[in-house]
Amino acid sequence: MYKKILIPVDGSEKASLAARQAAELASILGSEVTLFHVVPILPVDRFRSIVIEESRLQGKELLEQARKELDEFNITIDTDMVPGHPADAICLKARVDKYDLIIMGSRGLSGVKGYLMGSVSSAVTRYAPCSVLIVR
């Protein structure tokens, strides 16, 4: 049914909950799983390279932490990280790599990161090339 599951993560509680539910489903179905993080493009000219590098380092840590949280499910987990606009990057990844299902949290981070990300889950449900499961 669902052979490949994409799990966007941003460090939020909802993303963590979605990842756990995705891992549980993947363990039952024998699905391939990819944890996916998008480093938002920031409109910062000065110190841009410093901000981008720090965001990449945080993204790597976030993916590793998310992977460790799913160890108990005994599934193989790939990770990937790209810069971009989160909803666009998630939909592109799902299309290019032919994912059957995207499982993600209903709300991302709040504050500045939440503002930058906007309503990612809403945009993904509209434009994804596959089924999307939103976890509340």
Q: What is the pLDDT of residues 53-63, one digit of tens each?
A: 888 999 999 99
pLDDT over 70 at 13, yes or no: yes
Quote the pLDDT of residue 100: 97
- Going by pLDDT thresholds of 50, 70 and 90, the confidence category of residue 46 is low
Burial class (CB in 10 A: 0-12, 13-18, 19+), 98: exposed
**Is 115 or 83 the better-scoring residue by pLDDT?**
83
Q: Identify which of 31, 28, 37 has the alpha carbon closest to the alpha carbon of residue 105.
A: 37
DSSP-derived pairing of the beta strands 131-135 and 4-8? unpaired
Quote the pLDDT of residue 109: 57
